[in-house]
Amino acid sequence: MGKIVASLVVAVVAVFSGCECASCDARDETSLLQATSKNKVSQSPIPQNKPKQPVRNWNPMCLGIIGGVGPQASADVLNKVIQLSANQPWQYQARDYPTIYSSSAAGLDGVTQNNWVWATEQEQIANIGLVLDQIRDAFPPCVLERGAFGLACNTIHAYVYEHFNGSDAFVSIIGAVADAMDEATQNVKTPKPDAWVLGSGVTMSPNGSEYKQLWGKFNVNPGFPKDQETWLWNNVIMKVQQGQEDIAKDNFKSFLKKHIKQNDTNVPVALTCTELPIAALEANGKFIPGYKFIDPNQELAKALLMRGEKRLGENAAEMEEGWKSGIRTYEQQCCSKTNPGKECNKCCESNACE
């Protein structure tokens, strides 16, 4: 769908070779020089005044993102995981980001669209689930054994329950958005607060929606005409997938102006198709003002980091401690005592490594 040229499976941040466990001995400067000498590569003398950072392990957390319906949504989730990671207390250098694998597979959209044409619901679950299983199994063991992965598409969650929901590694974007809706309305006193669930025609229908549980808790899409449920799909979501983002943004603004009251901060607006947050962005990089948007990509990114950190502690505590003990050493040797976390240039050449 869109301008997908080929399936892309890429380790996005970094995949480092070598040992990962806390007990592994890091090779020191001398052994590195010996290895260089054996390979007959010339080596310049190391300056005596060259600042030395402490040798330390990298972040052993591994995260996976499944996309391809289309690839813009998974790229947006990836960017948001990186942004959120940058604000964590353990983030100092590139080695402290989690390793992130993003699988944007055009075949996932192809099977999904083809099966909607002819297959029964059970056939769709089986056929789409088979593709999802193949993508999941392509992730390295670190994602499945000690990390977390999520699916950057809301609608397909209706077809994956029997495939992924038994795995603690799987983070549901549906659950993440539902939790955010609850938090957004926790101070509203009415029994069923107003809320908007925007997305495809399937998503906006109470009978077929993957968010159907929200209709029991909220007054969803108040006053919205049923015959308009596919409008966002045709005029906004598909435009993003086709690379026509300017048209998508204009159409989305006209939709909001027509249907949803502005500046009502008690009414959450869930942008449940993962292309909608892209359409809701203005030129300044911020969402259209006056609406309490819930961005599923942001909620999935937050949930992935939380689950990844939780599973790392549960399944690889020694590796986690090895990495974090290195962070403590780095803070002690390289960071300002009065402003740790902000000024960490004591170990860098000319004290200017930022």
- Give Cα 97 to chain centroid, integer Å: 13
| Residue 65 · residue 102 · CB < 8 Å | yes
Residue 345: pLDDT above 90? no
Alpha helices in 71-120 (DSSP H): 71-86, 106-118
Pairing of strands 268-271, 194-198: parallel
Pairing of strands 8-11, 99-104: antiparallel
Residue 174: pLDDT above 60? yes
* pLDDT tens-digit series, residues 274-298: 889 999 999 998 999 999 999 999 9
Domains of the chain: 175-296 (3.40.50.1860)
Residue 188: pLDDT above 50? yes
* pLDDT tens-digit series, residues 57-66: 999 999 999 9
| Cα dihedral 30→36→41→42 (10° resolution) | 0
